[in-house]
Structure 1
Amino acid sequence: MSFILPEYRAPDFSQARFQTVPDAILRPAPRDGVAPEGYHATTIFPEYFKIGGRWLLAEESRMDCVAVLRGGAVAAVEFRNLKAGEPVVVGRTEDGSEGIYVHAAGFEQPGGEGETFAFRQGRSRETAYSMDYDSIYELLRYEKEHGYIVWVLGPACAFDADARSAFAALVRGGYVNALMAGNALATHDLEAGYLRTALGQDIYTQKSQLNGHYNHIDTLNAVRALGSTAAFVNSGNVKDGILYECVKNQVPYVLVGSVRDDGPLPEVYGNVYEGQNAMREQVKRATTVICMASTLHTVATGNMTPSYRVVDGAVRPVYFYSVDISEFAVNKLRDRGSLSVRTIVTNVQDFIVNVQKGVLAK
């Protein structure tokens, strides 16, 4: 099986129903950070705006933003980044009648309708995921050469020796273009590379070590003493692991903190808006996103990831996976509006090992 990128079918604006619609209405933002009344909120789907008689695609989008005309192009702008006087699109219809058209069916393939009634149409721990795994293997091989793969990891990904080793191999193999996580994932991974424990337990046997509860804060202190994770890795204190491979292979990582963090590591963003900006810089490039075992960071990433990306002038889909052992966790993202997410309910440690074996199999 070889991966083929699905064709995007752009809307046909020559249809009669689009011929008489007016240009989208633009109104100035009344002040910094405030949109005018009746503003249009963007979605995850490709959106076109009729400006000066032409239908313009918002090429970089995210949901829950406002559409702003900047430099002759339509930009999806967070409310907090809106400047007074900027022209903002207003109107709350999405069918083109107000010069705003949301194109949700651009990647749908021609075919008949399914049965009205069928079993097992949801995604749960009983779902068969064999085809999902095979699709992910092929997708990642394709994206290694043609895309930008962003992974979002929770700390569970560093607690198991085999999972940690498998993800490190994916980094070395070129299947990780960027990593996003919190303080915990990075801290426990560095602890494992430094002291062979995670939260004081041996990462293979799970046996608690004497005074092991000090290990993660001893690790944090040692990193902070050297000033950065990269300096700590390059000092030789860390022998292997996820962050080790990111540093050695120059893979960018974005760590955004929370109120419960210890330390934290020097690179952790304490200001959530600065952290969101750093995450979005990676999301803007992403063509595939895989989130594992971190509801907080998964929902955050999902909310800033559109269903499409414009690459070299062509519109292509963004593939988004949410993997967690909790059905609640994977379903929460879909409930928040990220309707294009593909969910897998399984142990993320097993998932990582399976993916590593699958993509690197000869």
Structure 2
Amino acid sequence: MVPVSAWFANRFSISLRRKRKCNCYEGSRTTGVDLPDALWSIRGAMLLKGEDKKFYSEMVIALEELTSKLAAWSDVYDGKVEYLLCYARAEDMIQFCALQQTPQETEGGRVHTVLHKLGTELNLKTTDGVLNCIHHTILLTSIICLQSKQLPSSYIHIGSSVFTEPGTTITYGDREVEKRVDLSAVSMSLERLSFLGQVYQAVRGEPCLVQALEPPATTQPRRLGAKQEYCVTLWPVGTALGCAPANPVELYNAVRCILQGLRVLHSNNIGHGDLRWPNVIKTSASQFVLIDLEGAMPLGSTVDLDIQMMPIAWQEGAVLENNRYTAKSDLLQLANMLRRRHSAAAMMTALEAANSAEEAWASIKQLQK
């Protein structure tokens, strides 16, 4: 009997990278050597995971380990994929499954995974079991091929750092990112730091706004010449957007999520301050998150900046009202984000006419009827 993991590998295209994890605690019945679990990835995205056990009595353990070992599964390496295909094999029985990441917040700012069984257990010693296994394999291979088309052309390795605007470094973890700002390059007063702490506290638990695992803080240099930094650890991790989604449904969902986030910010007298597509991430097919709250500012605050110093999204001050930053300023920036999408002309008009996020969303919902 060909191991099901090898069967999968032979079905996949050459672009599929196959990995095996050696586990000294799991031996093979036939050879007595290690029976490693399986993992397959395409362009850095894990799309299938297997747990192999020696005895059937360990099937429950295999299923539990699929959930426990993959508790940290996230979009940081799965791109737009929302379900992770997997299997648990114990002796001659196999159970195909799919792991779904849920958006529900749990203690410590984490999300959990839910295991969905795909059919019943299959007995690989019977003809029916083998035929059903082949049937499942063909279906899962088709799903993986479709999933691979949704993946970004490139990906960022976990643990790597990216330097964005001057003085800012983003380091990617498996479930969160660490943002550091060199305070010698960007001035930040104690008052500003306190305000950002209030911002992250005000948006806590809002799924459409980036979350801080701990309040932002500044590091104290421990040696001569060391730089002082603003530091905050953020989640969730998603796919960054460079422009408006081309798919009308995705664009609608993006606007919906942004407006939901703005409603929470505005209800706490806070403006986002820098609404651009690079400050929006996609965490699932229908969920988007507004990030980069470091540009936030109190609504109604007077802006005393030269045009050259203003964020690009401010359109040289055109989004301000009498040199003040208001809720309308955020809505005008969001409207500008839709300007190049002809299919979004009606939404753009609704945003330009509205004075609040609630009013804008009510108008946009009417457009969908």
Q: Is TM > 0.5 for Structure 1 vs Structure 2?
A: no
For the aligned pair, the TM-score class normalised by the smaller chain equals under 0.3
Q: Choose 1 or 2 for highest CA Rg.
A: 2
Q: TM-score, normalised by structure 1?
A: 0.24
